[in-house]
Structure formats: structure tokens, C-alpha cells
């Protein structure tokens, strides 16, 4: 028997991709939508027709005007009908547009191959999507920068191997997250600056069809590509087969994975800090942490960042397999894969950065918990300070060192075996060799003495590299977080 009862209508049977319906922003979903893709294709065909007209091919201004007049009137249902019959997405789009612009129908796609619109179009859409991600990345940097500035001097226990180490500050720890994002921003800027379009290359990349159109005039073919690129705003890759090299998608994937990894590191750290009850992600007044345990405040946004990042990082191996297995001038085993990886990678990283900004903007810090944990460990870390003070009072440094070691081991045993608080200072005060009371020893344990230049490092970092990275920052739309 079926598990589900009969339902009402086809809408309930349609799969909705969670990246589009639940996680990514409306702005990113729009860029990757079928409608927007068709409009980009039409923009490319218009640019080609204009350039061909300007260089003397039989493309009239009236035909170009007709294309422009119908550019945005995309009929997706008509395209679907044609594709069902033709089994070819590009030809379906051409036929549907030809019905809307009958006068221009003969010159749409003149001299071009399908990859003229698919490759050029995908690269143009990717450029827009990457530009949106750049703004979101800067949003996350800005949010963390404000947090780092607020807590730049708050001492906190540092961890190596997630074991107590020398103190740092809450703000300094945040700069480590920011540093990763600055490197991602550099990579993203390089990618945006250097990613080309395919250009006007013809069926196997030789431009033979365009050379025929221009009756053997290679200079005009070169001029055609130059004019086309000027109209779309990006240079063409110097050479290609029928497709542009699939390594262009690999480069996009590398940057997306870099951002995902940085965000995942931040989210992992925050989950550990929330476990320690030192720093928490935001939590709405009516938010439910657990259906069974109503007292819980689970770090679900950070967990979602980790989950989405894991998905993005898993895309790259198969992307490399695609670029590695292309045959000669092209093969079609890349098509379905590219439709999945490029779009899903962009959607997932968009969702990650929307969450990142939301979490980083609403972090909750609990200084008392931070101070309590630091005070529990600080006596162990103050060995050198305590030794120097005892030597000033006439003690023997080597003898004191051995006495400190013995007292520290006993204090550690009591903490772990008996569940007692850190009694190191009490044990030292009971030893006449130290010649100090417990209160005198405690007065030497100002946590700020042990954070080094952490606060100054935060201030210099925010005023220098971070300020430079945010110089042109224009915040992205405040996308909703569906918790």
C-alpha cells in the first residue's frame, strides 16, 4: 500500500529544490532562473546581431529594433512546447523568439553555434552571481569587524587542540575568521576580474562560419568579436573549441569552496563556543530549540552553515572530473553536470553568506562565563609572572620552579579527580618558599597581562586590511533567514 493518501492536483507532486525554496536569497534565485537565463541569451543574440549589422552583414536596423522590442517578452511555455518537439533547448528558444519577432527571425543566431548562448550566457550569469556574492562576503566581513571592535580587549581563554592555551581576546579570535574571508575576497576579486566570456568562435572554435559570412575577411571576424565583447562588457577567452574550457567552471568552484570552508570554520568555532556558554548565535524569542527538550538553544544556524558548506565542498571533485574528461573540441557529457554544479554551488554559497551575516550581526557574548573559565585556568599560565615576583622577594628560581610544578600537578589532580576548583594559588600560599599570601598571588593574575598585543593587533587589522577591503562596500539586500 502507498504510504501517502491520494492528493489533490499536480502541484503537490512537483519537487522544489531546497536551495531555491528554503535557503538561498530571492536575488540569487532570480539570477539562476529559467526566465533570466533566456533574457541573457536574448541579450547575447542582440549583441551579435548589432555587431554583424555594424560590420555590413545583411542584418537591418529594423530587425535589431524588433529583437530589442521583444527582448523581455520571454514565453517559457512556448519554448517548452518547441523543445518537446525539437529536443534542443537553444533551437526551441530561437523558434519561440522568431514567432514573436517574425521580421528578425531569419537573422537570429546568424553564424553562431549553441554554445554561443549557453557558454557566454552561463559565464555572464556567473559574473552577476559572483558580484552578488562579493557584496554578501563584504557584509559578513563588516559584521565580524563590528563584533571584533566591540570585544577587542575582552580577555578569553585561548585554545590549541581545544585544550587550554595562552589567553587571547574575543575580538582577536574574530579577526582570525575575518582574515580567512579577506583571502576569499582577494580570490573572488581576481576571479571576477579575469573571467572571460567565450566570445564569437563558431562551431569548433575556428570562426569558420563567420569567415564565410565576411567572405574571407579575417580582420572583420576579429572586429566582430571585439564589438560583441564591448557590448556584453567582458573580454573573450583567446581560444576555444566548440565550448570554452570547462576549467573556467573549476575556477569558480575553487572560490566557492574557499568561501564555504571559511564559513564552516567560523560555524564550527561558534558551535564549540556555544557549548562552552561563552558566545552564542542569535535566538528568537519564540524559537524552539528542540521538540523534546524545551530548554535547549541549539546552534542550528551555524550547523546549517556547516551542512551547506559540506555540500559545496563535495561539488568540486566531480567538477574536475568534467573538465578532465572533455573530448577534443567538445562532448555533451558536461551539460547536465554543469547545470547542477554551477547553479547549486552559487545558490548554496549565497545561502551560507546570508546566514553568516545574520549570525555575525547577532552574536551574544557572556563575559562572566568567559572570565570564570579563564580564572580557572589562569593560575597555571601565570607561572613565569609568579616566579619572577617570588625571586624579587628573595626566592631561588630553580627551587621555586620545582615547587610550582609539584603544586600545579596536585591542583590539576584535584580538579579532574575530585571535581574541586583550581586550588593552585592556595597550595602556593601554603608553601613558605613563596613568601606570599593567596591574595597577593591572586593580585598578580590580571588577565590583560597575558593577552600580549591582541587588542592592538585587532585595532591595526581593522584600521588597515579590513578597512581597505570594505572601502567600496555596498550592503546586499537583507535576505530573509528561514529558521
- Mean pLDDT (the chain) is 90
Going by C-beta distance under 8 Å and a sequence separation of 6 or more, which residues neighbour residue 49?
Answer: 59, 63, 64, 67, 104, 107, 108, 110
Domain finish residue from 236, 260, 291? 236
Number of domains in the chain: 3
Torsion of CA 40, 41, 44, 46, to 10 degrees: -100
Residue 353 in any domain: the answer is: yes
Using the 3D structure, point to which of 366, 394, 416 is the last residue of a domain: 366
What does the pLDDT look like over 157-182, one tens digit per residue?
999 999 888 899 999 999 999 999 99
Helix axes 170-194, 454-461, angle to 10 degrees: 30
Do 321 and 396 lie in one domain? The reply is no
**413/432 same-domain check:** yes
* In a shared domain, residues 104 and 139: no
- Phi, psi for residue 71 in degrees, rounded to 5: -55, -45
Sign of CA dihedral 175, 179, 181, 185: positive
Is 96 a member of any domain? yes
Domain membership flag for residue 455: no
My answer on whether 209 and 87 are in the same domain is yes
pLDDT at residue 10 in the model: 58
Final residue before a domain boundary, out of 236, 255, 283: 236
Both 57 and 104 in a single domain? yes
Please pick, among 290, 318, 325, 443, the residue that the annotation labels catalytic.
290
Q: What pLDDT is recorded for position 9?
A: 58
Whether residues 97 and 140 fall in one domain: no
7 in a structural domain: no
The C-alpha atoms of residue 482 and residue 355 are separated, in whole angstroms, by 9
Q: What is the pLDDT of residue 120?
A: 92
- Does 298 lie in the same domain as 176? yes
pLDDT along the chain (483 residues), means of 10: 54 77 92 94 96 94 96 93 93 95 94 91 94 96 97 94 92 98 97 93 90 94 95 91 85 94 97 95 64 65 96 88 83 81 94 96 95 90 85 90 91 90 89 88 87 95 97 85 72
> Which residue out of 7, 161, 285, 291 is catalytically annotated?
161
DSSP 297-315: ---HHHHHHHHHHHHHHHH
226: domain CATH number is: 1.10.275.10
Same domain, 105 and 121: no
In tens, the pLDDT along 239-254 reads 888 888 888 888 999 9
Size of the chain, expressed as the number of residues it contains: 483
- Are 264 and 348 in the same domain? yes
Q: Is residue 98 part of a domain?
A: yes
Residue 290 designated active-site: yes
Nearest-10 Cα torsion for 312, 317, 319, 321:
-170
Residue 210: which domain range?
A: 24-112+203-236
Whole-prediction pTM = 0.89
What pairs with residue 364 in β-bridges?
Answer: 280
Residue 306 lies in a domain: yes
| 284 CB neighbour count, 10 Å cutoff | 8
The enclosing domain of 256 has a CATH number of 1.20.200.10
What does the pLDDT read at residue 337?
81
16 domain residue, yes or no:
no
Neighbours of 409 (CB within 10 A): 11
Say yes or no: 400 and 342 in one domain.
no
Flag whether 481 is in a domain. no
Same domain, 295 and 179: yes
Identify whether residues 222 and 265 lie together within a single domain.
Answer: no
Q: Rounded CA gap, 350 and 260, in Å?
A: 10
Amino acid at each position: 500500500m502507498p504510504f501517502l493518501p491520494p492528493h489533490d492536483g499536480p502541484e503537490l507532486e512537483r519537487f522544489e529544490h531546497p536551495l531555491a525554496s528554503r535557503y538561498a536569497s530571492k536575488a540569487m534565485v532570480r539570477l539562476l532562473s529559467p526566465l533570466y537565463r533566456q533574457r541573457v541569451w536574448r541579450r547575447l543574440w542582440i549583441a551579435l546581431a548589432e555587431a554583424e549589422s555594424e560590420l555590413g552583414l545583411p542584418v537591418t536596423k529594423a530587425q535589431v529594433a524588433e529583437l530589442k522590442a521583444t527582448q523581455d517578452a520571454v514565453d517559457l511555455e512556448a519554448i517548452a512546447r518547441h523543445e518537446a518537439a525539437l529536443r534542443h533547448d537553444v533551437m526551441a528558444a530561437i523558434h519561440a523568439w522568431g514567432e514573436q519577432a517574425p521580421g528578425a527571425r531569419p537573422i537570429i543566431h546568424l553564424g553562431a553555434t549553441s554554445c554561443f548562448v549557453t557558454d557566454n550566457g552561463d559565464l555572464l550569469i556567473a559574473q552577476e552571481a559572483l558580484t552578488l556574492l562579493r557584496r554578501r562576503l563584504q557584509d559578513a566581513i563588516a559584521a565580524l569587524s563590528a563584533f571584533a571592535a566591540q570585544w577587542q580587549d575582552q580577555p578569553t581563554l585561548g585554545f590549541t587542540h581545544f585544550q587550554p592555551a595562552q589567553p587571547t581576546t574575543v575580538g582577536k579570535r574574530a579577526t582570525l575568521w575575518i582574515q580567512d574571508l579577506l583571502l576569499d575576497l582577494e580570490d573572488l576579486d581576481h576571479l571576477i576580474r579575469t573571467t572571460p566570456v567565450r566570445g564569437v568562435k563558431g562551431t569548433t572554435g575556428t570562426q569558420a562560419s563567420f569567415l564565410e559570412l565576411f567572405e574571407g575577411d579575417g580582420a572583420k571576424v576579429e572586429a566582430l568579436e571585439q564589438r560583441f565583447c564591448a557590448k556584453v562588457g567582458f573580454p573573450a577567452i583567446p581560444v576555444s573549441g566548440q565550448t570554452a574550457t570547462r576549467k573556467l567552471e573549476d575556477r569558480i568552484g575553487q572560490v566557492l569552496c574557499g568561501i564555504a570552508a571559511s564559513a564552516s570554520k567560523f560555524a564550527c568555532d561558534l558551535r564549540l563556543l556555544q557549548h562552552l556558554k561563552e558566545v552564542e548565535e542569535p535566538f528568537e524569542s519564540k524559537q524552539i530549540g528542540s521538540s523534546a527538550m524545551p530548554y535547549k538553544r541549539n546552534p542550528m544556524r551555524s550547523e546549517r552553515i556547516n551542512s551547506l558548506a559540506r555540500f559545496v565542498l563535495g561539488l568540486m571533485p566531480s567538477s574536475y572530473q568534467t573538465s578532465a574528461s572533455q573530448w577534443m573540441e567538445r562532448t555533451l557529457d558536461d551539460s547536465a553536470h554543469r547545470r547542477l554544479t554551477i547553479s547549486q554551488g552559487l545558490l548554496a554559497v549565497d545561502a551560507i553568506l546570508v546566514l553568516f551575516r545574520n549570525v555575525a550581526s547577532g552574536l551574544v557574548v557572556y563575559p562572566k562565563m568567559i572570565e570564570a573559565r579563564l580564572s580557572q585556568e589562569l593560575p597555571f599560565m601565570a607561572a613565569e609572572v609568579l616566579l619572577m615576583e617570588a625571586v624579587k622577594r628573595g626566592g631561588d628560581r630553580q627551587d621555586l620552579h620545582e615547587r610550582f610544578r609539584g603544586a600545579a600537578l596536585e591542583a590539576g589532580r584535584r580538579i579532574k579527580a575530585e571535581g574541586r576548583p583550581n586550588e593552585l594559588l592556595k597550595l602556593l600560599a601554603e608553601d613558605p618558599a613563596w613568601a606570599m599570601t593567596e591574595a597577593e598571588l591572586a593580585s598578580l593574575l590580571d588577565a590583560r597581562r597575558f593577552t600580549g598585543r591582541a587588542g592592538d593587533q585587532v585595532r591595526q587589522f581593522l584600521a588597515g586590511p579590513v578597512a581597505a577591503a570594505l572601502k567600496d562596500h555596498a550592503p546586499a539586500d537583507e535576505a530573509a533567514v528561514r529558521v
